[in-house]
Structure 1
Amino acid sequence: MQQERNEPEETVHLAPLPMPLRWELPPKSWSAGDGSSLTITAASKTDLFIDPEGTAEALTAPRLVGTQQGDFVVSARVTVGFSAVYDAGVLLLWTHDRAWAKLCFELSPQREPMIVSVVTRGLSDDSNAFAVSSDHVWLRVARLGRAYAFHASVDGAAWRLIRYFALDGAEDVAVGFSAQSPTGDECTAVFEDIRFAPRRLGDIRSGE
């Protein structure tokens, strides 16, 4: 039976992942079901973004992350209960407040679900990829030595490269999950079909 939790525990174990996870910042609520899926509800006005002009920053979105050494691939089917603009479910890479990256399934200002990525090296950038005609999509994060790749898929089989990049302090980067609701009252993201593989992608362009 799935049990909802409102207070973070010291560690979280998801069956598909080899490493324990920790709440760097707890959500409004969360649940892990039988340990093979994860639901996160982010509170109102939660976001991860440091404006490139340096005039504003938000580091309020909940973050559940764990550290894994070596090359790896982490993916999940992400379903988001979209309501307000910029609501999103997120796969996250996190080193510290000024070095992180997120791959988002996000509601655009045009009210379209969209793949969005942000890489932060002191300041954040913001890059839109493509719109999705559904409330769910597959997101994937891969580590390749000191580099990282973001991919997305509409069917969980054919992957499209979204970003290929590096982060400061790559050896200490943690990987995990987040949700956000910068303009809304709350946002719930469900992560299912979570998968982990301790391997290096052979071709980042095709995603194989």
Structure 2
Amino acid sequence: MQWLNEPAEWSDAQGTVRAVTGDKTDFWRETFYGFIHDDGHFYGREVTGDFTAQVTLTGDYDTLYDQSGLMLRVDERNWVKAGIEFTDGAVHLSTVVTRDFSDWSMVPVPDFDGSLTLRLTRHGEAVRVQQYLADGGWRLLRLAHLDMPATVRVGVMCCSPQRAGFVATFSGFTVSPPVSRELH
């Protein structure tokens, strides 16, 4: 695992990564706001072929756009980030797919209990984002297309576009063979 935009304060011990964000960090390209930010914190590794990445997220999400999650990155113009984001005064599940321009989808998590498990699966040119549910199942959050070479980088990311000092914790990050292609 290697950092893109290594935070000044972080640790990786016993299966838990903890990172403290720098000031006004984010990953975003153009859409709506007209700016490009590629200064969020991404701790990832190369993976070739199809895979499933999974992690449990915790953090003190209390300032607009505080976020942590998983990221699949081809380059600075093509990537997916998905995870928890604080917006409109509440925790949401958020996914941004960027193909030169970022798009953003989100859904509120009214029963957020402080942690959430997320997985991201690559099947060829398709990226599937899912949330683990209390009943043991997985809920589909997003199915997106992304042109990708055989090898991409995948890992955990965190950002805080309005401040510095957001503390994100990632537990049990794994990369394994892809889950079944069946969606239901």
Shared topology, TM-score over 0.5? Answer: yes
- Is 2:100 aligned against 1:116? no
How is 1:82-97 mapped onto 2 (pairs within 5 angstroms)?
82-97=61-76
CA distance, structure 1, for counterparts of residue 131 and residue 68 of structure 2? 13
CA distance, structure 1, for counterparts of residue 8 and residue 64 of structure 2? 19
Aligned position for 2:137: 158
Aligned position for 1:11: none
Shift of 1:165: 1.4
Specify the SS of the correspondent of 2:162.
coil
Shift of 1:190: 0.7
Aligned position for 1:131: 109
Q: Is the 8 A contact 1:144 1:200 kept in 2?
A: no
Shift of 1:53: 4.2
Q: CA RMSD in A?
A: 1.7
Match of residue 33, structure 1, among 13, 30, 40:
13
Stretches of structure 1 that go unaligned for 5 or more consecutive residues are: 1-20
Aligned position for 1:76: 55
- Is 2:85 aligned against 1:106? yes
- Is 2:165 aligned against 1:186? yes
CA distance, structure 2, for counterparts of residue 54 and residue 170 of structure 1? 29
Of structures 1 and 2, the one scoring higher in RCO (CA 8 A, sep 6+) is 2
Amino acid at match of 1:171: A
CA distance, structure 2, for counterparts of residue 122 and residue 53 of structure 1? 13
Sequence identity, in percent?
A: 25
Query: Displaced runs of 4+ in structure 1, greater than 6 A?
Result: none
CA distance, structure 1, for counterparts of residue 136 and residue 56 of structure 2? 11
Question: Are residues 38 and 148 of structure 1, via their aligned partners in 2, closer, same or farther at CA, if it must alter by over 3 Å?
Answer: same
- Is 2:43 aligned against 1:43? no
Deviations 1:149-176 (A, max 9, x none): 1111243832111111122234232101
CA distance, structure 2, for counterparts of residue 184 and residue 83 of structure 1? 11
Query: More deviation in 64-73 or 98-107?
Result: 64-73
CA distance, structure 1, for counterparts of residue 178 and residue 92 of structure 2? 28
- Structure 1 length normalisation: TM-score? 0.81
Aligned position for 2:146: 167
Question: Are residues 192 and 156 of structure 1, via their aligned partners in 2, closer, same or farther at CA, if it must alter by over 3 Å?
Answer: farther
CA distance, structure 1, for counterparts of residue 55 and residue 136 of structure 2? 12
Amino acid at match of 1:139: L
